[in-house]
């Protein structure tokens, strides 16, 4: 998914990119009943949510102040914080524009490098009892 996202037309909004990804790569959701797509308020749209529902995807997201609380909202805070932490660790570290990031191969290599570096840092910290640090510079070669 990060590769498809990075190759998307930068003029599309997030909802349009995600819908296009599902159209191009139908196997992302095929055979996965009950799929949850955790999102932020930026994905709020009746049309978008209806499209996801027709694809069999549930969209837990925070409610706007003008909306009543959504049923899955209490579970979202901790999950979203974990997701944001991973995104923060990887964001800016992919250097997509500087490394051929608008090609499939360029995006795949940059994403794989960073995910492997992060996995190495997590494993090392776990095995050695080292303090948790968000920097993966030591493992990023």
| % of the chain exceeding 70 in pLDDT | 74
Q: Is 72 exposed, middle or buried (CB count within 10 Å of its CB: 0-12, 13-18, 19+)?
A: middle
Owner of token pair 């797509």: 37
- What's the predicted TM-score (pTM) here? 0.57
Alpha helices in 41-103 (DSSP H): 46-54, 73-90
How far apart CA 61 and CA 63 sit, in angstroms, is 6
Stronger pLDDT, 25 or 114, i.e. the higher one: 25
Q: What is the pLDDT of residue 5?
A: 65
Tens-place pLDDT, residues 14-59: 888 888 888 888 888 888 888 888 888 888 889 999 999 999 998 8
Q: What is the pLDDT of residue 94?
A: 58
Q: What is the pLDDT of residue 141?
A: 47
**Helix (H/G/I), strand (E/B), else coil: 141:** coil
How far apart CA 96 and CA 43 sit, in angstroms, is 24
Provide the terminal-to-terminal Cα distance of the chain, rounded to the nearest Å.
23
Q: What is the pLDDT of residue 51?
A: 92
Helix (H) or strand (E) holding 42: none
* Long-range own/partner contacts, residues 90-99 (CB < 8 A, 24 or more apart): 90/114, 90/115, 90/118, 93/136, 93/140, 94/6, 96/6
Stronger pLDDT, 94 or 81, i.e. the higher one: 81
| Cα 88 off chain centre by | 11
| % of the chain exceeding 90 in pLDDT | 6
Q: What is the pLDDT of residue 69?
A: 85
């Amino acid at each position: 998914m990060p590769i498809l996202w990075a190759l998307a037309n930068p003029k599309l909004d997030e909802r349009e990119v995600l819908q296009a990804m599902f159209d191009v790569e139908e196997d992302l959701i095929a055979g996965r009943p009950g799929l949850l797509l955790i999102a932020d308020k930026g994905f709020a749209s009746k049309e978008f949510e209806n499209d996801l529902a027709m694809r069999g995807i549930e969209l837990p997201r925070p409610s706007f102040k003008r909306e009543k609380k959504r049923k899955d909202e209490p579970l979202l805070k901790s999950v979203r914080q974990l997701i944001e932490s991973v995104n923060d660790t990887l964001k800016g570290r992919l250097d997509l524009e500087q490394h051929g990031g608008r090609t499939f191969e360029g995006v795949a290599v940059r994403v794989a490098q960073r995910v492997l570096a992060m996995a190495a840092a997590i494993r090392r910290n776990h095995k050695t009892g080292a303090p948790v640090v968000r920097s993966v510079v030591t493992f990023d070669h």
